[in-house]
Structure 1
Amino acid sequence: MKKFAVGIVSAAFILGAGTAVFAAGTNNSDNGFSFEKMLPFMQKMHPDQPSRN
C-alpha cells in the first residue's frame, strides 16, 4: 500500500510539474496564439458578451 501511495504522489508531482512547465513555455507571444491576437476573433464569435476593460 505504501508503494502505491508513493507512486500516486510521484505521478501527480510529475504531471503537475509538466503542466507548469508547459504553461510557462507558452507565454511567448511571437510564436503561436496570444490573448491579444485572439481577442478580435473572440469578440466576433461572442458579440453578446460584455468586455472587461
Structure 2
Amino acid sequence: MAEASLTKPHLIPPEATALRASQVGTHRIGWFSFQPLYDWITAEKPDLLD
C-alpha cells in the first residue's frame, strides 16, 4: 500500500522490532494494557461501535 501511494516504505530493522517486542510483551499483555483505554473510549462515545 505504501508503494502504491508513490512513497518509498521505511523498513524497520529486525533488531529494532525484536527489541520493541521484548519491551512490550505478548499479545495478551497488550490486550490487558488496552482495556482501560477501551473502557474510557466506549464510555465517552457509547454509540461508537453501533
TM-score bracket relative to the smaller structure: 0.3 to 0.5
Q: TM-score w.r.t. structure 2 length?
A: 0.35
